[in-house]
């Protein structure tokens, strides 16, 4: 009987996930792309539906010849989205939480590095509420270093 | 009654298989997917199921896009040479999903390269070649007629051209990711990355090998080879991806001969611009023999993609 009870929830969750995922492209283009402003978007697409408290990780090489802007955007119904940048030795180089959760961070490098980006949807901290879920998009813009 | 139960069992099993396939096939890789599927206990209560799903972590492995690869080549001071691009006349050769996906990445890289060097006479041709590949893959509205017309109207405006190239590439890979085709999206990225590496290795002036900035850019690609492998492994089991894993492993083995070590990274904010500078020291070493081996390996793979 428990199986029968769980099944509709799984079905609904999956249907929601597929539908919501398809909507993240529009969200990324409309809400996140403008955050890159004068930086050229690299054209890559990184977006997913995340639930409160859920994390995503991204690995990317950044090059010494470029200046970068990373933009992290969460759907309006989500609480703050925190992001951290770590080097290959797991040292935290930047944490958006320390800067009141801005959507963007601009940086350049003296030498090329592979960095790790950790994105976390914070919690509203209201026990008993249904956790919110929504699109979170990660976009990179670049320009040649001055 | 028994028949009804059997029917329900079959229906239930079919839906569960569909659910598991849907969850694993969409978007970024689920870090705990294999373990979690094993752990999903259908007799557990609703909260437990939701909690398991909630804890799933997403992982993105991001390769340099074709536009970024082309920009890196230009910023290293390389010249433009049309002879290294894939011929647009080759489009009719590509009839399989794998060849169209690889060459969508390749033509997008060539288009980016031509755009950055203001090669106005060939930009439209390369956009049309990329469009043919995207259309062949049924990527709807990736490169529409409006994009082509906008490109024609702004053919002398590099900034607008880059914006259009970036947008069309975003349309392609977001369509593939959102429509449950991450393997094809990965193949497109591999095609673009290989083309960038191919053009870069071909353009190195061998008489000025030592201290060559383009050589440094090529060495930096060692940092992306692990990311590329993880991206491919996320989609392992797909026949085209399995073939690519074997081919790319050849490049990985050559990169292993290249030395690249980085010291600690420290972040300093430039208060005048509010841009953070990540300071570090990197030591690299690649001898001429290794470079020649890399150049040859990359050319062999790239030529297998376009022929």
- Which candidate from B72, B170, B174 shows the least CB-CB separation from A65? B72
Q: Where along chain A do its domains lie?
A: 2-144
Q: Where along chain B do its domains lie?
A: 2-59, 66-259+292-306
**B50 touches A: beta carbon within 8 Å:** yes
- Residue B59 to residue A59, Cβ atoms within 8 A: yes
Name residue A82's beta-bridge partners.
Answer: A120
Task: State the complex-level ipTM.
Answer: 0.85
CA distance B253 to B84: 24
Tens digit of pLDDT per residue, chain A (146 long)? 554 554 444 444 444 444 445 579 999 999 999 999 999 999 999 999 999 999 999 999 999 989 999 999 999 999 999 999 999 999 999 999 999 999 999 999 999 999 999 999 998 867 777 889 999 999 999 998 76
CA distance B123 to B161: 9
**B299 touches A: beta carbon within 8 Å:** no
Q: Within 10 A of B247 (CB to CB), how many other CB atoms are there?
A: 16
Per the CB < 8 A criterion, the answer to whether B139 and B176 are in contact is yes
Helix, strand and coil percent figures for chain A, each rounded to 5:
25, 40, 30
- Domain covering A2-144: architecture: Sandwich (2.60)
Give Cα A81 to chain centroid, integer Å: 7
In this prediction the pTM is 0.85
State both tokens at B203. Answer: 């353009």
**A120 touches B: beta carbon within 8 Å:** no
Which of residues 55 through 114 in chain A touch B, CB cutoff 8 A? 55-67, 87-89, 91, 93-94, 105-114
């Amino acid at each position: 009987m428990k199986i029968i009870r769980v099944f509709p929830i799984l079905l609904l969750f999956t249907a929601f996930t597929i539908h919501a995922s398809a909507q993240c492209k529009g969200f990324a283009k409309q809400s996140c792309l403008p955050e890159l402003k004068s930086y050229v978007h690299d054209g890559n697409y990184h977006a997913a539906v995340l639930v409160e408290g859920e994390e995503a990780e991204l690995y990317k090489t950044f090059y010494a010849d470029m200046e970068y802007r990373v933009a992290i955007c969460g759907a309006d119904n989500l609480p703050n989205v925190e992001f951290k940048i770590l080097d290959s030795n797991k040292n935290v180089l930047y944490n958006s939480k320390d800067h009141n959760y801005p959507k963007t961070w601009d940086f350049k490098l003296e030498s090329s590095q592979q960095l790790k980006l950790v994105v976390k949807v914070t919690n509203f901290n209201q026990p008993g509420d249904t956790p919110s879920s929504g699109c979170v998009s990660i976009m990179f813009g670049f320009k040649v270093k001055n | 009654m028994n028949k009804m139960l059997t029917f329900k069992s079959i229906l239930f099993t079919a839906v569960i298989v569909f659910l598991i396939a849907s969850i694993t096939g969409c978007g970024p890789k689920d870090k705990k997917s294999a373990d979690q599927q094993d752990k999903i206990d259908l007799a557990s209560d609703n909260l437990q199921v939701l909690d398991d799903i909630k804890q799933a972590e997403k992982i993105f492995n991001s390769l340099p896009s074709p536009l970024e690869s082309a920009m890196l080549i230009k910023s290293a001071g390389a010249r433009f040479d049309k002879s290294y691009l894939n011929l647009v006349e080759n489009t009719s050769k590509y009839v399989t999903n794998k060849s169209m996906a690889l060459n969508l990445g390749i033509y997008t890289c060539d288009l980016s390269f031509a755009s950055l060097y203001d090669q106005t006479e060939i930009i439209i041709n390369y956009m049309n070649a990329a469009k043919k590949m995207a259309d062949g893959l049924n990527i709807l509205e990736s490169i529409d007629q409006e994009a082509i017309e906008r490109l024609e109207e702004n053919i002398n405006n590099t900034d607008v051209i880059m914006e259009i190239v970036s947008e069309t590439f975003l349309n392609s890979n977001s369509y593939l990711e959102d429509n449950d085709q991450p393997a094809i999206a990965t193949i497109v990225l591999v095609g673009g990355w290989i083309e960038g590496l191919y053009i870069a290795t071909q353009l190195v002036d061998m008489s000025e090998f030592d201290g060559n900035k383009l050589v440094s850019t090529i060495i930096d690609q060692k940092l992306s080879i692990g990311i590329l492998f993880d991206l491919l492994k996320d989609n392992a089991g797909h026949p085209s991806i399995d073939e690519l894993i074997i081919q790319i492993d050849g490049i990985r083995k050559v990169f292993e001969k290249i030395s690249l070590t980085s010291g600690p990274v420290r972040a300093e904010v430039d208060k005048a611009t509010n841009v953070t500078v990540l300071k570090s020291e990197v030591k690299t070493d690649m001898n001429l023999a290794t470079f020649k081996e890399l150049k040859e390996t990359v050319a062999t793979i790239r030529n297998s993609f376009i022929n």
